[in-house]
Structure 1
Amino acid sequence: MKTDTKMKIEGSWTEIKGKLKQKYASLTEDDLMYEEGQEEELYGRLQRKLGKTIDDIKEEINGL
């Protein structure tokens, strides 16, 4: 079963990526690169760049 976050990412990543870039100017295209099945790598990059927990990142994505 897919998580809500994974379904949201797969469904509208371009829109989510734009909102994250607006909120966090330090994020680059490389930080936000997403390929299907590579969610954990994405979360890890965002965690390192933003200094947040993976749960915080998932919650933020779900809130967008």
Structure 2
Amino acid sequence: MNHDRIEGRWKQIKGKVKEQWGRLTDDDLEVIAGRRDQLLGRIQQRHGIAREEAEREVRRFERDHPDTLA
């Protein structure tokens, strides 16, 4: 996955991100702005999980939504 794709398509995918990680706020989504490292950090913070688990979840999200991230 090219991480630039997340940034470039952020407006299109942030709704799906919010569905996946419901504890993320609209303010979180604005701060994240498609940056994968910010997404990982906010998922960790809001969902109380380890970085490794957040990484697995984001990889799974990327794999499950190839049409959105292409």
TM-score range, shorter chain: 0.5 to 0.7
1:56 corresponds in structure 2 to 56
AA at the equivalent of 1:55 = E
Aligned to 1:9: 6
- Whether the 8 Å CA contact 1:47–1:57 is kept in 2: the answer is no
Structure 1 partner of 2:27: 30
Instruction: For 1:47 and 1:7, locate their aligned partners in 2 and report how far apart those are by CA, in whole Å.
Output: 21
- Find 2:17's aligned residue among 16, 20, 25: 20
Amino acid aligned to 1:34: I
TM-score by length of 2: 0.57
Which has more helix, going by share of residues?
Answer: 2
Runs of 5+ consecutive residues of structure 1 not aligned to the other structure? none
- Structure 1 runs (4+) deviating above 4 angstroms are none
Alpha-carbon contact 1:31-1:45 (below 8 Å) kept? yes
Partner of 1:43: 40
Identity of aligned residues (%): 30
Question: Given residue 56 of structure 2, which amino acid in structure 1 is its aligned partner?
Answer: D
Please report the TM-score for the alignment, with normalisation by the length of structure 1: 0.60
RMSD (CA atoms) = 2.5
Distance 1:35 1:20 in 2: 11
